Amino acid sequence: MDYALKPVLSALKSQEVLHGIFAIDTQISYGDNEEGGTLDEILTERLHEGLEHFYHGLQRRLQARHKQAGGHLQLAL
């Protein structure tokens, strides 16, 4: 998926493309709980790192637009 999607995004002149996060079936365990399953500690850490990278990317874009708009935009998460 990553190899097929990145060239398309590049052709569309994407300014920022983040890395994908992949998991194998042993990193996800399904139980009888209502949450649907639990994630391996390493996978959880990688997901948090990916979300942090995504958030910082949003902040960079927001700061650039904030300058263009004269200081009237704010990201609320």
Residue 77 lies in a domain: no
Which segments within 20-75 are labelled E, that is strand? 28-29, 38-39
> How many beta carbons lie within 10 A of that of residue 76, not counting itself?
3
Helix (H, G, I), strand (E, B) or coil at 70: coil
Q: Which residues contact 76 (CB under 8 A, 6 or more apart)?
A: none
Centroid of chain to Cα 38: 19
| pTM to 2 decimal places | 0.67
Structurally, the chain folds into a number of domains equal to 1
Residue 75 lies in a domain: no
For residue 42, what pLDDT band results from cuts at 50, 70 and 90? very high
pLDDT in tens, 48-75: 999 999 999 889 888 888 788 776 656 5
Average pLDDT over residues 11-21: 85
Q: Which has the higher per-residue pLDDT, 17 or 50?
A: 50
Give the range of the structural domain holding residue 50, as residue numbers without chain letter: 2-68
9, two tokens: 């995004």
Which segments within the chain are labelled E, that is strand? 28-29, 38-39
